[in-house]
Structures are given as C-alpha cells and as structure tokens.
Structure 1
Amino acid sequence: MAESQLVCMEDGLMPTAVPESRPQFYYSEQQRAALEMLLAHGDGAFKSLLKDEKSQDFLSAREIKAITNTFVKYQHEEDDGGASENRAKRDASDSMRSTYWPQMSDTDVPPLDLGWPSSGLFKGVTRVCVYTHPPKENSPHIKEVVRKLIQESCKVVAIVMDLLTDLQILRDLFEASQRGVPVYIVLDELGTPHFLDMCNRMQVGAKELQNVRTRSVKAVGLNLSLGRIPGNLHSKYMLIDGDKVMFGTYSFSWSSSRMDRNMITVMSGQVVDFYDNDFRELYAASDKLDLFKEFHLNKPQTGTLSRAAVPKRPVAATSRFQVNLGDVKVPEHKYHNPKYLLALGQIPGRTATMEDFLKTMDPPNPENPTEELENLTHVPSETGKKESKKPRTLSLKSRGSWWRKQNKEASEAVIEENTPVDAPKHTLPADQTSEDAGKKKKRGTFKNIFKKAK
C-alpha cells in the first residue's frame, strides 16, 4: 500500500492538500480516481474525466501501457469453486478478521543464517571510485569491476537487483558459495522468473546452492478498489564483506553490460552502514525463494562436528588438591615433575609413599640437643680466604694485558696440541713468527698513537 494511503488511514489525521507547485506534492485523490477510471473503462473514460475536472494528463503513453498490462485484480471468494463452503466456514468461525490490524508483523523476521559481518564500528574515511560504460580514461569495464569484487570477497556478498541473468556473474556467485562465502540475493518479483530460468540453464547443483539464500521483494505499488498496480524494484547495489558497496544504474544482465550506457560507483567507509541497514530491511520485507524446491534438489546434509573422546575423570579424594588415581597409569616422567605433586599427593618417588618416606627420616633427639650440634662439622673453604663482596673493576690498561694473556695461553695450547712429540715445545714456524712480529709492530704503533693522544 502506498505511503500516502497509510497516512490517510491514521485516526484523527487529515492531511492538508498540497498544491502541485510545492515540492512536497506527492499524492492526489483526483489522480487515484482517474487511475480507477482508466482500469475500469479504458483510456477514453480516463481522458474525459481529466477534462471534466480540468486536470492535466499525468501519464505518458508508455506508463499507460505498463499499468494496464501489469494490473492485478483482487481474488474474491465468489470466483472460486467452493464459494458457499467458504462462506459457511467464515460464518461459523469466531475470528474477527475484519478488525485485525496489527501494528507489527505476526511472522518472524527471516534470519541471516549464513552469517553477517558486524556493523556499527568506524570504517574509516569514505572513498569513492566511479566507472562508466563505455569506459573512460583507460578505466576497466564495469562488468570487470563487479566480477573482481565478487571473486575477492571473503566474508559475505549481498545483492539487491532488479534483473540478475548474466552468466559469468552467476558463475562467480556460485563459486564464491562453494568456497564458503555466504551469498544473499534479493530480487525484484518481476525479475525472479528470469533468474530461475538462467539457473536452470546452467544446471546448478546442491553444492553450488548450499551457501546461497535468495528472496523476492515487491515494490511499493498502489492499491486501488479494483486491484493492485505492482511497482518495480530499481535499487541496484551489492555489498562486499560489509566494508564496500557498489551501486548505480548497471543491472547484472548481458544486454546492460553490452548495449546500455551505465554508471556505477564503488564506495568504502562509513557510508556502507546505510546500505547495510537498507539491505536488512529489504531482506526482512521479502518473500522466501527456495531454490532447492524450485529445481527439485535435496539439501546437502551438514554433518555435525564429531567431538574427541574425553577420558573419564578419576574419582576425587577428600582434598580438592588430590586425586585418587586408582588403576590409572601415570608416565614415569610425570613422577619427577613438580606440578604433578598436587595430583599425586606425595613427593617425587616411584614406589615410596609419604608415610614410608617420613619413617626413613630420623628426627633430632630432643633430650640432648648439644649432641646433635657436636656432630655437625665445619667444612673449610678451598681457598681459605674470604672473598671480597666488593665487585672487582679493571682499568683499561689492565684489561688489555689480561686479554693479551688469555690469547697467549690459548695460542700456546693450540701449538702444543699440533706440534709432534719429538719437536721442542714453544717453537713456532718461520711464517708464524713473522706474523707475530708484524702483530707486535702494529701494537707498538697503536701504543704510540695512544701516548700522543694523552
């Protein structure tokens, strides 16, 4: 029902008439009466009514043809075969259908059962990229941009489209579904048969549809006393992973990508929240479209995750820090790990219990404590000198001599190991002595440099 009609049904609310010159002009009762005359008696009666009321013709020839072709009459009970039976059931029932005007829907909201990325967080600065067909300034084709967004998706793909019949885009959506990406599709009610026809030509299977949820939505339309004039869904956008959105005039069809002039905009940032909320509203107001039922497919069984077998816990003892192991075998390395002492209730040991260990310990003699003190002997230190607690510091000169001494001892040890038994010790080859002489010469030069610096 149109929004203006809902406003008129409010109790005690009579909206003021808005002239056509004001931008707030939206609905006119004269136009509604003219539409009913057009649908009941034809175009001639429609033109004559407008002439009598001195109103301008507000419909083009194309709109008149579309309205007359899509108009749907209401179905009355008298039109059915069992009119008398339905009337008897209605009289016998105690329900008050004519007075039932719920403010909220009495059906549950369809859940996004495949998952949905969390929203409400700051998504950064809004960034905009515009693409056209035909492409401009060496930019990619709009179909290439759309396919790349679908192929790079990893969280979710949500589409609101009037016509979805492009073969390559459908394949990309089903491939995304097979790799585990949830795919939600909301289609216009008039474009739904064309979508089902293309899926039937592709011969889609149950695995391809496992992570796909499709629904159809009706446009606002206009309800009259004779019937209803349906509208079209012209919203065309696609949400990717909850942080990108593509919208514009491009419909996902072959003719739209090849023959029509279109423009799309890809945006990221905080503006995505608006499309996120709009998609949820359309998804809640849409009707279910079960693809498994349409194509006579069996839903794949999603097996439950098998849990690993958990061993039974041993019966607990009186203390909460001990466990009565019973016949449970404990590995050997756990006997010597301190963290298992609380579980075993004893100190490390394979067979000895705590009582046996305490019996092996001889307590001191309380009657003669001096005897125990005499048995204690002092262990002298190896050096016999008290070590100074003050840390030892070395000067720069002493450090250098200590380092040279260590290197000398190490080199002598290496020489003694490599020289034969018969050769005299502390003798070096001629080459090595020349190298040592060169090193000493260099050290002398460094000493002279340090002396000059001082």
Structure 2
Amino acid sequence: MAESQLMCMEDGLMPAAVPESRPQFYYSEQQRVAIERLLTKGDGAFKSLLKDENGQDFLSAREIKAITSTFVKYPNEENDGEASTSHAKREDSGSMRSTYWPQMSDTDVPPLDIGWPSSGLFKGVTRVSVYTHPPKDSGPHIKEVVRKLIQESCKVVAIVMDVLTDLQILRDLFDASKRGVPVYIVLDLQGAPHFLDMCNRLQVGAKDLQNVRTRTVKGVGLNLSMGRIPGNVHSKYMLIDGDKVMFGTYSFSWSSSRMDRNMITVMSGQVVDFYDNDFRELYAISDKLDLFKEFHLSKPQTGTLARAAVPKRPLAATSRFQVNLGDASRGDLKVPAHKYHNPKYLLALGQIPGPSEPLQDFLDKMVPPDPGQQDLENPTEELENITPVSSQTGKKKSKKLKTLTFNTKRKKKGKKDTTSNEVIEENAANPSDETPKNTLTRDETQDTPKKKKTGFWCLFKKS
C-alpha cells in the first residue's frame, strides 16, 4: 500500500492533493473508483465514469484484459459452512478482520537452512560487464554467461525470476545441487506451474532436490473493497557465491534466449550487498513450494550417522602433556613415568629415579619432612643428595683440609703474562667413607702438563 494511501486512513488528516504533473504523484482515489466500476459493470461503465468526472482513460486494452482476468474476490465466509463456523468464533471473541493491524508477522521467517555465505564489510572494487542479445562486439551469448556462472559456483546460487523453464539452466541448477551447492529459487506465483511442468519433464529425483529450496512470491497488487488484483514479480537477478550478481531483462526461458532482445549486467563489489538484502526480504515474505510433495518423493535422510560408543574418560588423565590427579583416594592411580622420572621434579622432591609408585605414596613424598624427625639410616647418602659436599666439611672432624696456592708466570715474546691460580684440596682418607673425598679445583683456564711441572718445581725450589 502506498504511503499516500496510508495517510488517507489517518484520522483527521487530509493530505494535500498531488497533481499528475509532479513526480510524487502515485495514488488517485478517482482511479480506484473507476477500476471498481470496471470490475463490477464492465468497460462501458468504466469509460462513462471517467468522462463524467473529466478524467483520462489511464488503462490500455492489454491492462484491462489482464485486470479482469486476474481479479480475485474475497471469499464469502457466510456461504461456506466451515468458514461460517470460524466467523462465528471470531465474532464471539470480539475481533474483526478490519481491525487487525499487527506490528509484526504472526508467522515464522523461513530460514536459509542449507547455508548462506557471510557478507564481509568490503567486497573489493566494483566491476561491471554488460552482455546483450543478440551479442555485440563478438561477445558471448547471454545464456552462455548465465550457465557458466552456475557451473562455476561453489558457495550458493540464489535466483529471483518470473519464469524459469529453460531445460539446460534447470539441469545446471540440479547439477550444482548434487555438488553440494545450496540453490535458492524465488519464483513469481503465476510462473510456478510452468516451472513444475518443466521439472516433471526432466524427471527430477530426490538427490537432485536435496539442496534446492523453492518458494513463490506475489507482486504488490491492489486491494479493493470487494477483492484483490494480484501483481507480478518482474525482478530478474541471480546471486553467485555472495560476491557476484547478474541482473537485467533476461528471463530463464527458451523464447527469451532465442527470440527476445535482452540485456544483462554482471557486477561484483559493494553493490552485491543490496541484492543480498533484497533476496533475504523476498525470501522472508514468500510462500513455500515443496518440490518433494509436488513430485511425491521422499526426503533423503540428513541425520548424523550412528557412531560407536566411546567409553567415558577416566577421572585421571594420563596424557603426555597433562596429568589430572582426580580422586586422590584411589590407590590404583598411577602417575605417568615420564612425569615421575623427570629430573625437574626429582630435584624439588629429592627423590631417586625409579619405578612408578602409587599416587598416595607420591603425594606423601611431596610434603617436606620435619627437621626433627629425619631418617638417619644412611647419613652419607642423605648428605650427598640434599647438600653439597663442601658445606659439610666443617662438621666432619675426621677430615683434614690442605690448601696449596701458587702462582705460575710464563713470559713469551709478543704475548701478555698469564697467571693461573690453582687450589689443591686434599682430604685425608677415611676408611669409613665409601667414596673418595679428594677434589681438585682450578680456574677456567686449563693448564698443560708442562705448566704443572713448572709450578711444582718453583714450589719446591722456594721451600
């Protein structure tokens, strides 16, 4: 309904009349009354009314024939038994059809359930290619361009068309469906029977229609007091993969590609977003055309395949990179060997690498022992594992320490003096110790055997 028509329904609001000379002129109440006279009393009464009101005859002979042949009256609910029952229920509830003006639709919006590519913020530079029939400048045929776009599609094919009856194009669409490409088709309501007829000639099967969704949409139409004049859908475009669009005057029919003069435009870039939104709107207001029901086919099963039962994951994971302790009270829980024997953890716990132990024993060893209750069964082994040997020399009275320090100097031509400090620690042998306690400490520079002999000779010479 036009905006000027809606403004006439507002209470106490009478908009200013827009003359026909202005481009804003769209709706005329005089023309609406004349059309109702045409539908009720015929063409003669229609022309006489316009002559009495000094109006112009605004309908051609073709339009008069189309209006009178497509006019649909509102159903008379009082004559139909079932309709009268529903009418009585509506009167009991106190609701009337003329007062029902919902803010939102009371039906669910049909989803694009087989997939739709996400539109990005930027689709690149806009590129335009124009093709005509007959071809110009040795260009390809219009039908060749359309079929090539369908055959090269990989994401989605969305079509809005008034007539779709070309057998080759239909085969390309069903082949794309077999490849797994979603195919959405929105047809004009009056062109849907011809589409079904051509699909029946192709003998389509369930596999052909698995990724095809077909719906019908009506034109804007004109609502009158006694009925409605339906309109047609003359939009003709096709979206490919969400980044290309083909639009023009070409209908997907044999006669349009052979006998009519047409022009199409293939565009890519930001202009595709407009056609993307327009297709979503048309798809939302369209009616479902179930091809499986029309051709008496059973829908293929699309459920997930049955999988083998997988055992539940244990409370304690034993993966290589993660250890989940889980229930610490379980005695049979094992810590992975690569964790237990890792030197990084053994240094912190003071343990010796060995076979894996139960978790409870492992957790007990993580608690630091009490200094007053240390196990002294093997004090020498404990001292070697926990503390360095040099820190315990003051506590052992049986050990003796001798330190000899000497300097060695050698001079060579063209080289600097080199000085090396050597400290020799000799521990007296203790028969109770199982391991030798003689250590030799030097600086980072390694002395040759000749240098060692020179150092000892100087030492004895001085003494």
TM-score normalised according to structure 2 size: 0.73
* Pairing 1:59-98 to 2, within 5 Å after superposition: 59-82=59-82, 85-95=85-95, 97-98=97-98
CA contact (8 A) 1:2 1:221 kept: no
**Partners of 2:2 and 2:27 within 8 A in 1:** no
Contact 1:216 1:287 in 2 (8 A): yes
Whether 1:378 aligns to 2:459 is no
Distance 2:37 2:196 in 1: 36
Residue 263 of structure 2 aligns to a residue whose secondary structure is strand
Q: Does 1:147 align with 2:147?
A: yes
Other-structure match for 1:426: none
1:440 maps to none
User: Relative to 1, partners in 2 of residues 1:57 and 1:311: Cα closer, same or farther, differing over 3 Å?
Assistant: same
Aligned residue number for residue 350 of structure 1: 355
Q: Distance in 2 between matches of 1:220 and 1:34?
A: 19
Q: Which residue of 2 aligns with 1:22?
A: 22
2:313 corresponds to which residue? 312
The residue number in structure 2 matching 1:269 is 269
| 1:448 equivalent in structure 2 | none
Report how far residue 356 of structure 1 moved: 9.8
From 366, 373, 383, give the equivalent of 1:363. Answer: 383
Contact 2:292 2:299 (C-alpha < 8 Å) held by counterparts: yes
Corresponding letter in the other structure for 1:384 = D
Q: For 1:338 and 1:156, how far apart are their aligned partners in 2?
A: 58
Matched with 1:185 is 185
Q: Which moved more, 1:15-24 or 1:239-248?
A: 15-24
Give the structure 2 partner of residue 437 of structure 1.
none
Distance 2:355 2:84 in 1: 92
Aligned to 2:100: 100
C-alpha separation between the residues in 1 aligned to 2:344 and 2:259?
Answer: 76
Partner of 1:197: 197
Q: Secondary structure at the match of 2:147?
A: helix
Q: 1:49 maps to what in 2?
A: 49
Q: Which residue of 2 aligns with 1:240?
A: 240
Distance in 1 of aligned mates of 2:242 and 2:84: 54
* Conserved? CA contact 1:2–1:223, under 8 Å: no
Going from structure 1 to structure 2, the CA distance change for 1:337 and 1:75 (only over 3 Å counts) comes to farther
Q: SS of 2:273's equivalent?
A: helix
User: How much does 1:340 deviate?
Assistant: 10
Q: Any conservation in 1 of the 2:316–2:325 contact (CA below 8 Å)? A: no
Aligned to 1:214, what secondary structure does the other structure show?
Answer: strand
Q: Which residue of 1 aligns with 2:413?
A: none
Query: 1:115, 1:372 → 2: CA distance?
Result: 87
State how far apart, in whole Å, the 1-side matches of 2:265 and 2:339 are: 65
CA–CA distance in 2 between the matches of 1:183 and 1:347?
68
TM-score, normalised to structure 1's length?
0.75
The percentage of counterpart residues that share the same residue type is 76
Please state whether the residue corresponding to 1:228 is helix, strand or coil. Answer: strand
The one-letter code matched in structure 1 to 2:30 is Q
Specify whether residues 109 and 7 from structure 1 end up closer, same or farther in structure 2 by C-alpha distance, changes over 3 A only. farther
CA distance in 1 between partners of 2:32 and 2:136 (Å) = 45
What is the aligned partner in structure 2 of residue 443 from structure 1?
none
Pairing 1:169–2:169 present? yes
Equivalent residue number for residue 206 of structure 2: 206
Aligned equivalents of 1:87 and 1:356: distance in 2?
85
Output aligned runs, 1:108-123, within 5 Å.
108-123=108-123
Maintained 8 Å contact 1:239/1:246: yes
Aligned partners of 1:209, 1:336: CA distance in 2, in Å? 62
Q: Distance in 2 between matches of 1:340 and 1:36?
A: 95
Residue segments in structure 1 that go unaligned for 5+ positions in a row: 387-454
Q: Is the contact made by 2:123 and 2:269 (CA closer than 8 Å) also made in structure 1?
A: yes
Change (3 A) 1:302 1:338: farther
SS in 2 for 1:160: strand
3-state SS in 2 of match to 1:78: coil
- Structure whose residues are more often helix by fraction: 1
Q: What is the CA deviation profile of residues 345-376 of structure 1, one whole-angstrom value per residue up to 9, with x for unaligned ones?
A: 98754357868999984325687247497314
Tell me the amino acid that sits aligned with residue 153 of structure 1.
S
- SS across alignment from 2:231: coil
Alignment check: 8 A CA contact 1:2 1:220 kept: no
Determine helix, strand or coil for the equivalent of 2:234: coil
- 2: CA distance, partners of 1:171 / 1:132: 23
Aligned pairs, number: 383
Q: 1:297 and 1:6, CA in 2 relative to 1: closer, same or farther beyond 3 A?
A: farther
Helix, strand or coil at the partner of 2:267: strand
Cα distance in 2 between the residues matched to 1:304 and 1:180: 17
8 A contact 1:2–1:222 mirrored in 2: no
Supply the AA of the counterpart residue of 2:144.
E
Q: CA deviation at 1:331?
A: 8.4
CA distance in 1, matches of 2:351, 2:156: 57
For residues 252 and 114 of structure 1, the distance between their equivalents in structure 2, rounded to whole angstroms, comes to 23
